[in-house]
A and B are shown apart, each in its own frame.
Chain A
Amino acid sequence: MREVTSAGSHPGELELVAALRRRDESAFLALVRRFHSSMVRVARVFVNSDAVADEVVQEAWLAVLEGIGAFEGRASLRSWMFSIVANRARSRALREARSEPFSSFEDPEGEPTVDPARFNPPDHPRWPGHWCSPPERWADEQLLLKETVELTKRAIDTLPSAQRQVIVLRDVEGCSSEEVCEALAVSDGNQRVLLHRARAKVRAMLEPHLRRNA
């Protein structure tokens, strides 16, 4: 489970920043090992291909090096680096986009996130609105399986892009809601709606595979 980053850099990070300012290559490598894969994932939610994501992240590393002198430590290092990647990835996606504005709401707002057929209709004589096709408990052991993680990854990949962006940043990468709002330039409310829809969809896609065998 990813840790949520608190605001501001902690002492270990400031050490790393100082070493980087001294042009210490091992500090740079430590940073790369820690953050590179996450940065690629972040870039990938904005742009259309792995190759483009790699390019964006290369540019972002250069921007990190060039900007490290001015980094004040008010935000955490990770936060700062993620917004560099997100900004570059968004610009790149905008330049290459044909029609779709990637941060649009793809689902009509207010649409239920769980199939209404799974609940009793409003005119049900006893329990209107209660589950009629309720969820069955998932075994925790199944969640640890490699297949389940693979399935989750694929489910996330099929989400509409705005929802994918939010769930990757929030749940895969463990960014805070503030970081996500900044990276995606959306309000907290919007971010929450997208997160809500994304999580509900991923849950629904996992469900048929995690149903306990009869």
Chain B
Amino acid sequence: MIAFKWLSRGAIAPFTGFRWPVDGSWVSAPQSAPEGSGVHACRVEHLAWWIGEELWRVELDGPILEREMQIEAPRARLLGQVTAWDPAAFVQACLGRTEGFAAETPTTELADYVALIKTVDAPTAAFVASVAAVAARGTKQAFSEERAWQARWLSRALDLF
């Protein structure tokens, strides 16, 4: 199946430092590794949780394990980079959302989040906007609901399926 994967610059896995082959070679996770050591990827709805520097389309092979924030497969390969990914545009979108929250709920806290978002990178902006959503809405679910909004934004902006 086709899915998405966030990587650091140079197609490098952010937590393991593994350098993904950009020529589309298949990569298998080690067999004897503990649970959760397969290749991690995102369905569209998971995209906002794992924002990194580069977004790649990937092909997954083997039984897909569904997890709360991601999916996992024993084998995968990179298909191509989503070059339309524009972190600055994304940050602007998060800023717009947070300004909206601040307008709904004009507290110093929300004002602080607005100020903060102007200075941070894309993954942090996603986080701050989600925190702001909780502050504005007053519910724990607002956090993951905001991530869902961010995923929909990414899907439209990047023309993902």
A98 within 8 A of B: no
Q: Within the complex, what minimum Cβ distance (angstroms) separates A104 from chain B? A: 31
B86 within 8 A of A: no
We find that the number of chain A residues with CB closer than 8 angstroms to chain B is 2
Q: Within the complex, what minimum Cβ distance (angstroms) separates B133 from chain A? A: 15
We find that the number of chain B residues with CB closer than 8 angstroms to chain A is 2
Q: Give Cα A126–Cα B109 distance, bound, in whole angstroms.
A: 7
Q: Within the complex, what minimum Cβ distance (angstroms) separates A134 from chain B? A: 13
A125 within 8 A of B: yes
Q: Give Cα A126–Cα B112 distance, bound, in whole angstroms.
A: 9
Q: Within the complex, what minimum Cβ distance (angstroms) separates A57 from chain B? A: 35
Q: Give Cα A126–Cα B116 distance, bound, in whole angstroms.
A: 11
| In the complex, per-residue mask of A108-134: 1 if CB is within 8 Å of any chain B CB, else 0 | 000000000000000001100000000
Q: Give Cα A126–Cα B135 distance, bound, in whole angstroms.
A: 10
Q: Within the complex, what minimum Cβ distance (angstroms) separates A7 from chain B? A: 12
Q: Give Cα A67–Cα B112 distance, bound, in whole angstroms.
A: 70
A125's nearest neighbour on chain B, judged by CB, is: B109
Q: Within the complex, what minimum Cβ distance (angstroms) separates A127 from chain B? A: 9
Q: Which residues from B are CB-within-8-Å of A125?
A: 109
Q: Which residues from B are CB-within-8-Å of A126?
A: 109, 112
Interface residues of B in 106-144 (CB under 8 A from A): 109, 112
Interface residues of B in 68-125 (CB under 8 A from A): 109, 112
Q: Within the complex, what minimum Cβ distance (angstroms) separates B125 from chain A? A: 15
Q: Give Cα A140–Cα B134 distance, bound, in whole angstroms.
A: 39
Q: Give Cα A125–Cα B109 distance, bound, in whole angstroms.
A: 8
Q: Give Cα A118–Cα B112 distance, bound, in whole angstroms.
A: 21
A126's nearest neighbour on chain B, judged by CB, is: B112
3 contacts across the A-B interface (CB closer than 8 A) = A125-B109, A126-B109, A126-B112
Footprint of B on A, CB under 8 Å? 125-126
- Which 3 pairs between the two chains have the least Cβ-Cβ distance? A126-B112, A126-B109, A125-B109
